[in-house]
Amino acid sequence: MAHGGPHIRASAEDVGGRGQPRLGLTLTAASLCIFVVQLDFLALNLALPRMASELGTTTTDLQWVLSGYMLALAAFLIPGGRLGDIFGRRKVLMTGLVIFGLCSLGAGLSSSATVVILLRILQGVGAGILFPLAVAVVTDAYPRERTMRAIGNAYGIGALALAFGPLVGGGLTELVGWRWVLLLNVPTVMVTLLVVRAGVRESRDTTAPRNIDLPGLVTVVVGITGVTFAVDRADVWPAEATVGVAVAGLLVLAAFVLREHRARWPLMALDLFWNKPFVIVTVMATVANIGFAVTMYGVTLSLQQVEGHSPLASGLIFLGSSVTAGFAGPASGWLGERFDIPRTIALAIGVGAAGLLLVSLTDAPGGYVLGLALVGLGYGTGWAMASVGTQTVVPAERAGQASGVTLAIVIGVAGMCVAAAAMVMEVWAASAGLRASIDGVLRWTAIGSAVAAAALGTLAALLMPRTTAASP
C-alpha cells in the first residue's frame, strides 16, 4: 500500500508532550469528540420547528441554524486539521472544544433568532477544528498496525450519537424544550475536555514550521462557503444569483489550488491527490455519505410532514438505521484489517443502496425498519471507512491535514447534495405530491450510489493492488 511518504511519528519529546500516550484514554477522548459533534447536529435537527415557533420566526428562516453550522463546519475542516499539525493537535483540539461549548451555551440561552444563528455558525467553526483532530490524535497514539481498528472503534463509540441523537432531540424538545438540546452540550464538552487533557499527548508535524498559510486559509474558507451557500439557497434565490455565487466560489477555490501549488508551506499539500488509494477511498466514502445524508433528510421529512409523527416518535423510528450505523464504526476497522478496503466500501454501499431502495418502495412497517437498518449498516460502514482507510495511506505526521481534507470532501459534498435533493423534492412535489417526490429522490439516490460504487470498485481493481491494514 502506498504511504505517500516516510512514516514519521512526532514524539512527545519533539513537541513538549508527556511521554507515551494512554491508549484507552486517547481512544475515549477521540470518541467523545466525534460523539459531541454528531449528537448536536442530529438532535437539533428534530428541534427546529419548535425552536422557530418560540423565537417568533419560520422554520425556513431558522434553517440557518443548521445550514450556517454546516457551512462553517465544512469550511474549517481543512484548516482545522492543518492547524493541529502545525501548532499541536492536543492544544488545537481543546480550543475547538471550548469554542463549540461556549457557543452552544450562548445559543441555548439566547432569545434572538439572529444571535442563535450567529452562535451556531461559530459553533460550526469549533466543530470543524475538532472533528479532524479527533481522528489525527488516534493515528498519532496507536501503532500503525492497530490504527484501523482504533479509528473504527472511535467512530463506533462516537456513532452512538446516531442512535441517541434523534431520541435526545425529539425527547428534550417535546418534554422540556429545545434549549436543553443545546445546553446538554455544555457538560458533555466539559467532560470531553477533561478526558482530552488526561489522555491525549501533544503531537504535531515536526517537518513544518509553526506558521499558517493565511492566504490559503482565507481562500479555502471563502471558496467552500461560497459554493455551499449557493447550493443551500438555490431553492429561494433566482437562478442567476445562485450560479453567480457558485461560480465565484469555484473561482476562489481555483485560486486556493494555485496558492497551495506555489506556497512554501501550504495549508493543503496537493500531492495528497496523487495518492491513488487516498483519492479512491475518499470518493467512495463520499458516495456513501451522500446516500446516508439524503436518507436522513428525506425520511425525517416524510415522517413528520407526510406521516405526521412527533419528533420523539420520529426518533424512535430512526433507531434501526442509528443502531446499525453505530455498529458500522468498529466493524469498519475490523473489516479493514482483513479485507481489501475499496472493494469492501463498494460492497457496503451496495447494501446501503438495497436498503434505501426498499425504503422508497414499501409502506409496510417491517420493510421500512429493515430498509433503514440496511441503510445504516451499509452507508455507515462506507462512511466510517473514509478515515479508517485514508489514515493508513498517508504519513503519520500529516494525519490532521489528511483527515481534514477527507472530511471536508465527504461532509461538504454530502451537504450540497442534501440541499440539491431538498430543492428537487420541492419542485417534484408541486406536481406529484410530497410523498411521491420524497420516494422518487430516495429511489434515484439508491440507484445512483449503487452504480457509482460499482464503477469505483472496478476502477480500484484496475488502478490499485489489493490492500488491507496488513499491507506493506
- Class of residue 102 by CB neighbours under 10 A (exposed 0-12, middle 13-18, buried 19+): middle
Instruction: Check residue 85 and give its pLDDT.
Output: 83
Q: What is the pLDDT of residue 230?
A: 80
Give residue 419's pLDDT: 74
| DSSP 3-state of 297 | helix
pLDDT of 15: 38
pLDDT attached to residue 3: 35
pLDDT of residue 183: 92
71-151-147 Cα angle (round to 5): 135
**If you compute the radius of gyration of the chain from its CA atoms, what whole number of angstroms results?**
21
Dist. CA 138–CA 467, nearest whole Å: 21
CA–CA dist 110, 290 (Å, integer): 33
**Residues near 122 by beta carbon (within 8 Å), at least 6 away in sequence:** 72, 99, 103
Cα distance between residue 29 and residue 194, in whole Å: 9
Q: Per-residue pLDDT for the chain (472 aa), expressed as one digit of tens each?
A: 333 333 333 433 333 344 455 888 898 999 899 888 888 877 787 787 788 888 887 766 677 787 778 778 878 888 888 888 888 899 999 999 999 999 999 999 998 888 998 999 899 999 999 888 888 888 888 887 787 778 777 877 776 776 677 778 777 887 888 899 899 999 999 999 999 999 898 887 777 677 777 888 888 888 888 887 787 676 677 777 888 888 898 899 899 889 888 887 777 777 778 878 888 888 998 999 899 888 887 887 787 777 777 766 766 777 777 778 777 777 777 787 777 888 889 999 999 999 999 999 887 777 778 999 999 899 988 887 876 777 666 666 666 677 778 878 887 788 778 778 877 887 888 888 888 888 899 999 999 999 999 999 888 888 766 655 444 4
Distance between CA 385 and CA 460 in Å, rounded?
Answer: 15
Sign of the dihedral defined by the CA atoms of residues 470, 134, 330, 448, in that order: negative
Which triple of cell numbers denotes residue 89?
493537535
Architecture of domain 12-212+267-463: Up-down Bundle (1.20)
Question: Number of helices and strands (H, E) in the chain?
Answer: 19, 0
Cell, residue 400: 490532521
pTM comes to: 0.76
pLDDT of res. 378: 92
What is the C-alpha end-to-end distance of the chain, expressed in Å?
Answer: 6
| Cα–Cα distance for residue pair 340/351, rounded to 1 Å | 17
